[in-house]
Amino acid sequence: MRNEPFFLKTGVARKALCVLAVLVFHLSFFVPAQAQVKTRGIDVSKFQGIINWTKVAKDKTVKFVYIKATEGTSIQDPYYKTNVAKARKAGLLVGSYHLYSSKTTAYQQFANFKKMVKKSEQDLIPVLDIEGHHVGRLNMARVDKLLELMEKEYGVKPMIYTSERLYREHLSGKKYRKYHIFIANYRGYPRARFTLWQYTETGHISGIKGYVDISKFDRNHSLSDIRMPKKKKDAAPATSAAPSSGTATTPPSGTATTPPDTVGEK
């Protein structure tokens, strides 16, 4: 047994150490939430390249991942299927997101997403990603239709990813209160209502080369809020055909489509 250090043999020293321990305990409650987070999520796309999902899963704070599936009418992420399969195999909960385009219809975009994203492979509710550059020119009728089609197909309201400014201008009304909101804000705690907060776009996770977006939950929400509902009865599949109007929504095979909006692509 080691001898007690000399400075601890005095009552004053003992009391000083006790006071210090109490201060450390109380100060721990003021550590920024980011440092105390127990459940984090990431979102990835082709820009992260080949990911070592086994290494990613070893970070016990990383519980889930949103993987880019599609964008606009024609873009499909080349790493999507591999990322979904390997992330789930590693034990992570997986969801998929579609990057909204202002240049193509809701029906065309939904058809692209549905083609790539299988309901049976989804652990988390789908996400419609509406980037901040759409502020001031967002066609809300198109957004609403796309949300509606996604809900019919996957049996749950999608979560909406967006900037805080776009949320305030387009999505803060009562109409969208039933949707989970995924806010991107890299400068500080969001003032908007949110379920998930993407607090950095320059995160580092073992198994991923370079930067990766990292998110965490609002204190009143958790993973259970964004899990796909337990299977009861499949919702009626949504149709990808537009209502009869005499105008085709999907161009014939071999016909060039309007290039999707790629500004701010993740």
pLDDT of 99: 97
Whether the pLDDT of residue 190 is over 60: the answer is yes
Positions marked active-site: 43, 131
How far is Cα 18 from Cα 123, in angstroms, rounded to an integer? 48
- Tens digits of per-residue pLDDT, 60-89? 999 999 999 999 999 999 999 999 999 999
Question: Nearest 5°: CA angle at 133, between 259 and 62?
Answer: 95
Closest CA to 99 of 73, 119, 65: 73
Mean pLDDT computed over 160-188 = 95
How far is Cα 193 from Cα 249, in angstroms, rounded to an integer? 35
Whether the pLDDT of residue 108 is over 90: the answer is yes
Question: Please, are residues 95 and 122 in contact by the beta-carbon 8 Å criterion?
Answer: yes
- Tens digits of per-residue pLDDT, 20-59? 544 434 433 333 444 346 899 999 999 999 999 999 999 9
- Tens digits of per-residue pLDDT, 227-263? 999 876 544 555 544 443 443 333 334 433 333 333 3
Tokens standing for residue 253? 């095979």
Note the CATH number of domain 37-225.
3.20.20.80
Q: With the CA atoms of 109, 115, 120 and 123 taken in that order, what torsion angle do they form, in degrees rounded to the nearest 10?
A: -40
The residue ranges of every structural domain in the chain are 37-225
